[in-house]
């Protein structure tokens, strides 16, 4: 049961976005630009970074959501996603993506845990500065989303199939489609 | 030296906001609504929560920035801020703020570290659901900002007086004033 009365029966972060539209709007915009905006990392690679960080933060809802998005977007599907979550350094992914996931894993621990060597390795594997930047910010942003979802003890979607349906829908409508306009904060309870 | 070529010589998060205006805009909007938007927590109390979480994340730039903002906004000034950073449970603050800082400290560790008892204690001390929500989200957001600033090894402002000047200016102009329009990502290096 959520720690506060949210006034709706949605799952995970959606229940929070509905509760507080004023903060939902910038968070949705951030997710949209980071995960789907112009860039040389594919949306599938970005979803994989998000799933990996969420998994390290043990956030069940976010892990399932972004693992599903990576699954529907990447040719390797669920098998690849499972391999990456189990350990990016042995998964069949490009050296560049493995190096970026190494950086994302460090960020999950602490910003200070990112070493010069991690960045040099990513660059050597072909990552651009902007890709390194976006990887750090995606990882940092999910350290926020994960804490938001679990810090208020939201309810996770219990039906695994729903995550895949939602991921499929996200491809078409993105991260802003389900938001309410600001000024409508629910004040139940 | 920053891990990537930012193309400017600004300090801390400002160098990153300048580098990537597309992500800067939603992050600035989130900071503005969380730290200065309508709400029953005073802006000084919110800055104190931000400083406390940043301090626990050992992010020097963010701690100094938000400690300075709390200092100029709270009657207790720098002495009070130092006492809170040293340990909120013994600082001369209201039981409600102490309980909310307890929640913020848990969020800094992990979303799952927030216990029902922490939330019950905050409510008993007079905190509303929305105040509990905003405390969790402020703490979670600074787990993002701190990781962003340190994960890319930005340069901290070396002059302590500059943080106070900047905090004073922030009271008048807020968190959106210095942002560049989107579409101007710097691609130096």
Q: Does B116 touch chain A (CB under 8 A)?
A: yes
Q: Is B101 exposed, middle or buried (0-12, 13-18, 19+ CB in 10 A)?
A: buried
What averages of pLDDT result for each successive group of 10 residues across chain B (189 residues)? 96 96 97 96 98 98 98 96 96 97 98 98 98 98 98 94 95 90 59
How high does pLDDT run on average in chain A? 95
Indicate the pLDDT class of residue A178, thresholds 50, 70 and 90: confident
Q: Does A16 touch chain B (CB under 8 A)?
A: yes
Q: Does A143 touch chain B (CB under 8 A)?
A: yes
Give the A:B interface size as CB pairs under 8 Å: 147
Read out DSSP for B12-62? Answer: HHHHHHHH-HHHHHHHHHHHHHHHHSS-SS-HHHHHHHHHHHHHHTT-HHH
Q: Which residues, including other chains, have CB under 8 Å from residue B167's CB and lie 6 or more apart? A: B65, B68, B69, B71, B72, B73
pLDDT tens for each residue of B4-54: 999 999 999 999 999 999 999 999 999 999 999 999 999 999 999 999 999
- For residue B185, what pLDDT is reported? 63
Question: pTM value?
Answer: 0.96
pLDDT at A50 over 70: yes
pLDDT tens for each residue of A18-28: 999 999 999 99
Residue among B119, B129, B143 whose CB faces A144 most closely: B143
Residues 72-111 of A with CB under 8 A from B: 103, 106-107, 110-111
Average pLDDT over residues A68-92: 96
Average pLDDT over residues A48-74: 98
A4: nearest CA partner in chain B: B129
Q: Does A53 touch chain B (CB under 8 A)?
A: no
- For residue B189, what pLDDT is reported? 40
Indicate the pLDDT class of residue A186, thresholds 50, 70 and 90: low
CA distance, residue B182 to nearest chain A CA (Å): 11
pLDDT tens for each residue of A142-158: 999 999 999 999 999 99
A15: nearest CA partner in chain B: B133
Q: Which residues of B touch A129 (CB under 8 A)?
A: 4-5, 189
B151: nearest CA partner in chain A: A111
Indicate the pLDDT class of residue A188, thresholds 50, 70 and 90: very low
Optimal mutation site among B5, B15, B105, B129, interface A, most CBs of chain A within 10 A: B129
> Hey, is B2 helix, strand or coil?
coil
pLDDT at A189 over 50: no
CB contact under 8 A, A137 and B114: no
Indicate the pLDDT class of residue A185, thresholds 50, 70 and 90: low
| Contact by Cβ (8 Å): B50, B142 | yes
């Amino acid at each position: 049961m959520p720690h506060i009365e949210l006034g709706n029966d949605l799952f995970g972060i959606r229940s929070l976005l509905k509760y507080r539209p004023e903060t939902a709007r910038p968070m949705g915009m951030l997710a949209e630009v980071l995960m789907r905006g112009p860039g040389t990392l594919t949306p599938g690679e970005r979803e994989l970074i998000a799933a990996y960080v969420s998994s390290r933060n043990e956030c069940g809802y976010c892990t399932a959501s972004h693992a599903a998005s990576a699954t529907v977007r990447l040719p390797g599907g669920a098998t690849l996603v499972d391999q990456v979550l189990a350990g990016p350094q042995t998964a069949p992914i490009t050296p560049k993506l493995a190096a970026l996931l190494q950086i994302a894993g460090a960020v999950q621990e602490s910003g200070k845990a990112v070493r010069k060597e991690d960045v040099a390795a990513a660059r050597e594997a072909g990552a651009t500065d902007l890709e390194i930047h976006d990887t750090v910010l995606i990882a940092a942003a999910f350290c926020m989303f994960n804490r938001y979802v679990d810090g208020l003890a939201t309810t996770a979607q219990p039906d695994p199939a729903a995550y895949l349906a939602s991921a499929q829908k996200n491809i078409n409508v993105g991260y802003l489609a389900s938001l309410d306009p600001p000024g409508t904060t629910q004040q139940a309870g």
